[in-house]
Structure 1
Amino acid sequence: MKIAVYGASGYQGKLVLAELARRDIDMRLVGRNATRLREAATTVGTAGGGAAETAGGGAAGTGDAEQLVADTDDHDALVTAFRGCDAVINCAGPFTGSGPAVVRAAIAAGCHYVDTAGEQLYTKAVFDTFAEDAERAGVTVVPATNDGCLPGDLIAHLLAERAQPMEEIEEITVSHFITGGGGFSRGSLRSAVDTIDEIKAGGLSYDDGGWRTGTPARHTAVTLPDALQPTGVAKYPLSEVVTIPRHIPVRHVESHVDAAVAAQLDTPLTPGIIDSLPEGPTEEDRRTQRFTYLIDAVRRDGLSVRGVVRGHDTYGSAAVIAVEAARRLAEDGAEPGVLAPAQAYDPTSFLGSLAPHGISWTITVGCGSLEVKS
């Protein structure tokens, strides 16, 4: 098995390389800059063979890991860089602008594709644009295989099965809470700047068979597990809104983050400010970070079911999840086309594989914890 990593020299990309190396999976580093690719290979200590070269054939230096240089505006170079691999993990954000080129090239090269994207409209665009191409090529594309969307989507399917009949589910609400961690990586901040209008508008909601913008939030607060008081939330564009309705016949889906976190994004960010910041959280920051992701389903008769995902280190968890997602496609396969996580993977099996990495999950029936907007 060989997995290509696009954006291998970035903050998230290097964490993905380290996870591939830990599992002793053969990899190919792909990116825009030969020097940065060599530095990433050296930093991570990846093992492999072959000289580094540009995808067009020119030498780009040597190193321990196979490295190919290809830009997103060069389709042929990208296809060449991915050809011969079983899957591609795309870590190169912002995804809204460059991601479609990587998906297109992976499909043309006959590779399965996953990414660490958290950009809601990009995730929807992958479904809207590439479903037929991927199906014809016999490959599987699963966007947003990150620390939030993949476990949230899998948990949503499991709790929908608990809330049978599934057709009676009125709404599913997804809420993300993160504490500690030293802030965002430069790549995450660039993605936020690129999609700031969508973020400020609250993103998409799913209502009665379609995705819509400008829908007011139904909820203003969520009570966390074991908390005595609710925590304020703000409507936020999470990718679960795009994936969950593809396998659950729900009438309404919306997503939130902690209102205090959302308020931080009101501070204007320029490219110069972002470039002056550290590449991302330190290892110690990541070790002390904690996340809690809630998936609340309410049936039309009022029965509520809650799924809770807990863990630490969002960036490290995203690396584990993306690698596991790519590995499963390469080894086990899935239906060709663009799929939500719960359509591509067995939810219980995948979630169980995350336990050794400190990611836990629970499902509880009968726990009303949402505050309705007045």
Structure 2
Amino acid sequence: MKIAVYGANGYQGRLVLTEAVRRGLNVVLVGRDAARLRHAAATVALSNPDIRLAGPDIRVAPADDHDALVAAFRAADAVVNCAGPFTPTGAAVVRAAIAASRHYVDTAGEQPYIKAVFDTFGARAQAAGVTVVPAANDACVPGDLIAALLAERLGPLEEITSVHLITGGGGPSRGSLRSLIESIDIIKAGGLVYDDGDWRAGLPARKTSIILPGSAQAVPVARFPLSEVVTIPRHVRVRHVEGLAEAALAARLSVPIDPSIIAGLPEGPDEQARATQRFTYLIDAVALDGRRARGVVEGPDTYGTTAVIAVESVRRLVAGSAKPGVLAPAQAYDPAAFLRSLLPHNVHWTIQEGEERTAGN
């Protein structure tokens, strides 16, 4: 199996490249600068002496060169796009992957871009016989899969609330900061909410605080443009879906960033900083009859976990039988099976309904 990693020279791209090679997959490094791609290959090989990346296959293809992208992607079985920010260039990469008849995933977290992929490329992907799964990242994939399991238990739902809480890990990568700049207006506005059959902006949050697992203390939360708000309603019968983040985190990410300072910042958190990071994602569901259930996903290192999830996502598309089109994670993969595949990477999940507790291990 061979996968093309677009943006392989970037911070997230190198992590995806490392994970792919660690699993024994062949890779094609694709980007706009051959020297930077060669440097990325050398850096991965030097930093990971236990994996082998000899004679890397490097293809130069800027996002605005459709023919070069198509030719590069045809050298692989599928594409992983790690080149954020995705809002200005992601659609061109999706379009080229479909033209090359190759499955596609990306690591995007930009809510408007993810919705645009669903709105724009569904029919094209179906006609080409390929599967497109945007937002194959640390939060959207497990959150979307957990939502499917909650719906299996409860049936049609009144609401789903997804909440992100992250501690430690150092600062964001340069790519994440640039994505924040692209999304700053929708972050300030709180993002889209799914309500009564459509995605809407400007609705007030139904919750302003949540209780963490194992704690009686309420944590303030605020509306935030989460990816799973776009994906969950595509396969779950639910009236209302909203995304929340810890209020302090949402406030920090709402502050405008001067683009001129980003180039002088570290490319991303180092391995030691990433090892200190922990995430907790809560998916709270309320059935039409009032029954409630909560899914909890916990793990380390959002960037490293994103690499694991992106590679596992594309591997399953190539090896499996997902239907063509633009799909949410739970439409493309078996939810419980995919979640079990994350256990060796210290990503654990539980579902609690009333007094009953089901563990994902």
* Alignment TM-score, normalising by the size of structure 1: 0.92
Mapping for residues 254-293 of structure 1, pairs under 5 Å:
254-293=242-281
d(CA) in 1 for partners of 2:233 and 2:21? 35
Cα root mean square deviation, aligned = 1.1
Q: Does 1:8 align with 2:14?
A: no
In structure 2, runs of 5+ residues without a counterpart are 46-50, 356-361
Mapping for residues 122-133 of structure 1, pairs under 5 Å:
122-133=113-124
Q: CA deviation at 1:267?
A: 3.1
The one-letter code sitting in structure 2 at the alignment partner of 1:128 is D
Give the match's secondary structure for 2:208: strand
CA deviation vs aligned residue, 1:184-218 (integer Å, no higher than 9, x gap): 11101100011100000011000111111111111
The one-letter code sitting in structure 1 at the alignment partner of 2:124 is D
Q: CA deviation at 1:172?
A: 0.1
Conserved 8 A contact 2:184-2:256: no
Mapping for residues 90-109 of structure 1, pairs under 5 Å:
90-109=81-100
Q: CA deviation at 1:266?
A: 3.6
Conserved 8 A contact 2:297-2:347: yes
**What residue in structure 1 maps to residue 359 of structure 2?**
none
Corresponding residue pairs, total: 350
Q: Quick one: structure 1 residues 8 and 100, their matched pair in 2 at CA, closer, same or farther if it must change by over 3 Å?
A: same
Q: CA deviation at 1:225?
A: 0.2
Q: CA deviation at 1:48?
A: 5.5
The one-letter code sitting in structure 2 at the alignment partner of 1:146 is N
Of 77, 82, 106, the residue aligned with 2:68 is 77
Of 206, 220, 230, the residue aligned with 1:242 is 230
Of 101, 104, 112, the residue aligned with 1:121 is 112
Mapping for residues 1-374 of structure 1, pairs under 5 Å:
1-45=1-45, 47=52, 64-163=55-154, 166-167=155-156, 169-366=157-354
d(CA) in 1 for partners of 2:34 and 2:339? 36
Q: CA deviation at 1:300?
A: 2.5
Conserved 8 A contact 2:99-2:128: yes
Q: CA deviation at 1:273?
A: 1.5
- 4+ aligned runs moved over 3 Å, structure 1: 46-49
In structure 1, runs of 5+ residues without a counterpart are 50-63, 368-374
Q: CA deviation at 1:47?
A: 4.4
CA deviation vs aligned residue, 1:90-131 (integer Å, no higher than 9, x gap): 000000110000000000001000000001111100000000
Give the match's secondary structure for 1:278: coil
Conserved 8 A contact 1:47-1:65: no
**What residue in structure 2 maps to residue 370 of structure 1?**
none
Q: CA deviation at 1:22?
A: 0.5
Q: CA deviation at 1:268?
A: 2.7
* Alignment TM-score, normalising by the size of structure 2: 0.95
- Percentage of identical aligned residues: 66
